[in-house]
Each structure stands twice: as C-alpha cells, then as structure tokens.
Structure 1
C-alpha cells in the first residue's frame, strides 16, 4: 500500500485497481474479494468506490514479504562470484604488461604490492562461467588508469580482489594430503585491450602463483571474486 493504506481507508474503484495490477476489472474485483476473505484487507463501499485498508494481519503479512524480498536482494548483492577453470599457457602478454612502470607504480599504490611479472591464465569451459566472466565489468573493482609512453597507448585495467585454490576430486585422489592445499589471495584482471576472449581469466599475485601453490598447466582451480 504505497499510498498509505495502513491507518486510513483509500478510495479506489475496481477500474482503477485493474489498471494498477494490469489485469481485467473482473480479476481486480476477485483479488479484492479474496484479500478480504483472507482477512488481509477491510473494505467499505461508498457509491461506486470502495474504501480499502490493511488489517493488522495484512500489515504483518506485508512486512514478512518485504523482509523476505530485502533479504533476498541483500544476499544477491553480497554473493561471491565463482569461477572454475583449467590452467593454460598464455601468450606472454602478462609478463610484458607487468613489467611496465606505468602499471607497476599503480599496482604498488592501489593493490599494495608489485605483481610477479606474469599472469596465471585460467580457461573457463562451462557456459555459466563464461556469462559471469562477461558480466564481471559491472562489479566493483580497483581501477588502474591507462597511460601513454613514447611508443604507444596502454588501456585501463580493472582489478578484482579474489582467492584461488586448486580443485581436487577427492574420490579419485584418496591419498592426497588435502590439508596442505591453501587458498591464495590474488587479483583477477580485466583489461581494456587484450587478445583474449571471455573464456580466459588472468590472475596476478605478489609471487608466482604456480610456484607457491604447486600448480601446473592442466590443473583445475576455483577462483572466487570477493565483493
């Protein structure tokens, strides 16, 4: 009741109601009858109009619906974004870009570290991960400005705080020591200019992610973007 139908009766015709709920006048009348039967509203007739007011039960029901919707929206906004993929060999772009002072200086200032010279490349295969990768640009990020040097112009980079961990199939690796598998703090990059498509994710960290996590090409990993 956006017009305030908790403490006062609101005058409305079934025609007006039908336009509000975008249904026929007959359907609107039936909705009002059903709500009254369920003791969610009170109605009084005044010529061709009705006065409608929420009952206490109706107001409590409305509050419950509001809280459920609010919780759902809050959970949706705070939900972490998950990617699963396989480590693959890159084209060597990462090592070159990580060596440029125009980027390194901003990484030091905004990320708090100078990245290892190179990116870990993770190939996504499942379709829903590809869609999430495409939508990543709409998520909050740390923005690294583009710059120019004597030779060319370099585009912006968006950095997303994330974690990475190796994915294991416990059933096929019963003898593996899973206690030694550690989740590493990293950043996922989104570049304005790149030769890669949406199936590839580039990851950086202060050290070689492969070495400190004992990873190799072909290993499956889980990347979690932290909102």
Structure 2
C-alpha cells in the first residue's frame, strides 16, 4: 500500500514511550534500529481507513510491554521512497484513526526539513 499524507504535530508523548528499554530493544531486534524518541505524525485521507484498519487488525508484529504500558503493533514502512522505518499502532492512543505514526533511526523533521502541512508518501 502506498499513500500520501500530511505531516502534523503530535502530542509529544511518543518520546517518553520510545525511550523505554523494552520497546527500544524489541525495535532493534526486529527492525534493525533503535528509533529516534519521537514519531513523525502523518494524517491520511479517511478513504484509506478500511485498508489501514485491516492491516492493523491483522498485524502480527506486536511488542508486549512491561506492566503499565500498552502493546504496540508495527509494520515495516518506507517514507518518501528512501527512509526505512515502521508505522506503529499503539494500543493506547488518543489519535484519530487517520493519524499514522512513523518511526525511524533519525529525527525526520530535521533530516528531511519537514514542517506541518508538508505532504509525504508512506509505503507499507
């Protein structure tokens, strides 16, 4: 699946969760990198929600957390045809369904000079 979406500012909570050792260890083991402590938030068209929800609901890549934290499903993805990473689907989230959270090794806003409103392409 390949979809375009608009970069938006998140809630700032991902940095804390992505700094937890049990998450970083699992991402390193399964994706080959420790993610930058934060996500790139991308709002996609609601026209894509059925397909995204189907992918999320059938995703078998799950990090089961330490007590007090939520599970996270993830699927490998590529941003703008060249940045490897993953889309994460936290079990505990306050985002709308059309928000996708992309993780990568680096802070993508800086690396790609992204700002709110920029259009990016996700492939997964």
1:199 alignment partner in structure 2: 98
Write the distance in 2 (CA, Å) between the matches of 1:213 and 1:127. 25
Report the TM-score, using the length of structure 1 for normalisation: 0.51
Please state which structure has a larger fraction of its residues in helix. Answer: 1
1:114 alignment partner in structure 2: 34
Report the TM-score, using the length of structure 2 for normalisation: 0.90
Aligned to 2:74, which of 129, 154, 159? 159
Mapping of residues 79-158 of structure 1, within 5 Å: 81-124=1-44, 126-148=45-67, 153-158=68-73
- Counterpart contact for 1:145–1:155, Cα < 8 Å: yes
RMSD: 1.5
Write the distance in 2 (CA, Å) between the matches of 1:139 and 1:164. 22
Please state which structure has a larger fraction of its residues in strand. Answer: 2
Write the distance in 1 (CA, Å) between the matches of 2:87 and 2:117. 19
Write the distance in 1 (CA, Å) between the matches of 2:76 and 2:9. 22
Write the distance in 1 (CA, Å) between the matches of 2:76 and 2:60. 8
